[in-house]
Structure 1
């Protein structure tokens, strides 16, 4: 059994062996420095910060690059993320810091693009004038029956019609909530590379993802999007590139999963995505210290992202950069890990219960390794190295285990069992009054027993289940607005079993 097998089995079979955030030690020093700085400044969950950083890297690299797997498959460098984080986890503040270079590049592009649009309008006006003048000459020639010049005029007309100015396409590197039709029209109107980054995870966004799941899947694969219209012009979007990071509130996500014909799972959208359920930081954050600590990472990271964006859009997207390839050593490691994952998906294997997601891990590793290589060598990336692949394996495996603990239904460790343990602890911790017993939600991560209940990947699914079966409700009593768990006396908490 190789080291990959031992490490993965240890994490799948022991929640305590699975860390609370993606591994840090193998990142590029600027990426690690940025994670540390944002964590210290914002105090948002490390996994949330990591997914946000990786989505920014995906945006910066995806436009014109592809990667050839050792298997021969070709993939874009786009990544999808689902992060569950409750209100108050500072998703907006994290997004504001990490998306800053993308938004600054967008502002610069928009200023330059205004000049291109003005030139296009002037060229189009002059072209229309030329066309009208020539049409008048042709009309006069036909009217006066002077056909000797007609052939030359028709030749000039063909030249003018073939030289109509082409309207330049704009660029929007981030779009927010939009309708299904507008999403496709966006790709037709603008350059076919963008991102959907949501820092609030509103119900409207959940509905948007549901309505567009087929287009989201095809965009992840880099497949053409064809739109057939009867009442308007049909069009095809070639080589779309899309990065997605949906930061969803757990309750909204759970409601989407409980719907009949849950299309997010059944369509494979979740399988393509890197899923995390980071432990809450609410209740454990420290107030500002009053002094400005010495940071090292974010400014330099933002500068490198700016360089990557400049390189990505220095030429038209129709001129792709040659695909990235693996070195021989990197290809060997990637193939070994891919074989391990395949073997673990057999009937009765450790990953049988999450086959859909596990089947996409190798592809996400290839994409992420290529992104790490682009970040290390933005101007002229070399072949994908062993170090980039190992880092990508560590990170993607962490997301794989996160997915496993949230979605897997193992007989020896069901969510229902954890829910029963959590309910027992809540009952002991509850503060009773005449109407109900209440527990501050933030206490779970700090004080819950058994100790493993303090991990958000354990207690949050268990709490969602308790709410679903009516054992608890979540409220925000005034004046603090702090979230409390309410257990009503109507439930005989000491005697009832959830099973």
Structure 2
């Protein structure tokens, strides 16, 4: 038995060819939603003040404000991760805007307090450096004298010198470098700054500078 033959009268409708011009390789970026300044809590007033003074978009003013807020909080807390370890309370921000959008103006305005704090740190650093240099000279001179006495032939004097050497302690350390921000550092320079400065640093760059980070355990 043969299968019945089916015939169809359906035929696709012809679509006329219409020549098109060149098409853009990149699609147009749709306008984003308004920045949610209402979600900033007490920082909203600062963002609106920066926006009013600089006439920068709300997003740029908010980025600058959040960056400084993170810089202030970062030395005082870590965040607990789900795996049980901890990580620095750091915030990474990238602002992409045209020239003249007042990115630098917003940064400079919210950084005024930071710059004043760094100036106070620098003044204290200079004073502490003078005192540390005197203390280091006294320590070095005292240590040399005690070493000479400890190696002398008089046992009583040598024993007393040995005791004084143990009580002398380590060489007075230099004060911490008064920097809490840096711009476009090299990785080597950043690591050195961590060794002679504070354990928390903010990296701020007007030109999108970046550091090629090594694994976290190498920075500890």
Relative to the length of structure 2, the TM-score reads 0.76
The match for 1:455 is none
CA distance in 2, matches of 1:119, 1:100: 29
Choose from 155, 166, 170 the match for 1:147: 155
The match for 1:254 is none
How do residues 151-162 of structure 1 correspond to structure 2 at under 5 angstroms?
151-160=159-168, 162=169
Q: 1:135/1:97 Cα in 2 relative to 1: closer, same or farther (>3 Å)?
A: same
Cα deviation for residue 224 of structure 1 reads 6.1
Choose from 124, 142, 152 the match for 1:112: 124
Q: Report the structure, 1 or 2, having the larger strand content.
A: 1
What secondary structure is seen at the aligned counterpart in 2 of 1:75? strand
How do residues 102-251 of structure 1 correspond to structure 2 at under 5 angstroms?
102-139=114-151, 141=152, 145-160=153-168, 162-201=169-208, 205-206=209-210, 209=211, 212-214=212-214, 218=216, 225=219, 237=220
User: Unaligned stretches of 5+ in structure 1?
Assistant: 1-14, 226-236, 238-499
The match for 2:25 is none
CA distance in 1, matches of 2:190, 2:69: 22
Conserved? CA contact 1:124–1:164, under 8 Å: yes
The match for 2:94 is 82
Conserved? CA contact 1:92–1:200, under 8 Å: no
Conserved? CA contact 2:139–2:172, under 8 Å: yes
Q: 1:136/1:27 Cα in 2 relative to 1: closer, same or farther (>3 Å)?
A: same
How do residues 66-465 of structure 1 correspond to structure 2 at under 5 angstroms?
66-68=78-80, 74-139=86-151, 141=152, 145-160=153-168, 162-201=169-208, 205-206=209-210, 209=211, 212-214=212-214, 218=216, 225=219, 237=220
The match for 2:60 is 48
User: Unaligned stretches of 5+ in structure 2?
Assistant: 1-29
CA distance in 1, matches of 2:171, 2:52: 55
Cα deviation for residue 188 of structure 1 reads 0.9
Structure 1 stretch displaced more, 174-183 or 91-100: 174-183
Conserved? CA contact 2:149–2:158, under 8 Å: no
Does the alignment pair 1:19 with 2:19?
no
Q: 1:70/1:179 Cα in 2 relative to 1: closer, same or farther (>3 Å)?
A: closer
Q: After superposition, give the CA deviation of every residue in 1:310-363 in whole Å (9 maximum; x if it has no partner).
A: xxxxxxxxxxxxxxxxxxxxxxxxxxxxxxxxxxxxxxxxxxxxxxxxxxxxxx
CA distance in 2, matches of 1:186, 1:90: 30
Does the alignment pair 1:28 with 2:41?
yes
The match for 2:11 is none
The match for 2:23 is none
Q: 1:69/1:135 Cα in 2 relative to 1: closer, same or farther (>3 Å)?
A: closer
Cα deviation for residue 70 of structure 1 reads 7.5
What secondary structure is seen at the aligned counterpart in 2 of 1:82? coil
What secondary structure is seen at the aligned counterpart in 2 of 1:62? helix
CA distance in 2, matches of 1:170, 1:151: 39
Q: 1:37/1:148 Cα in 2 relative to 1: closer, same or farther (>3 Å)?
A: closer
Conserved? CA contact 2:150–2:159, under 8 Å: no
* Paired residue total: 191
Task: Please identify runs of 4+ aligned residues in structure 1 that moved more than 4 A.
Answer: 69-73
CA distance in 2, matches of 1:46, 1:120: 47
CA distance in 1, matches of 2:158, 2:96: 70
Relative to the length of structure 1, the TM-score reads 0.36
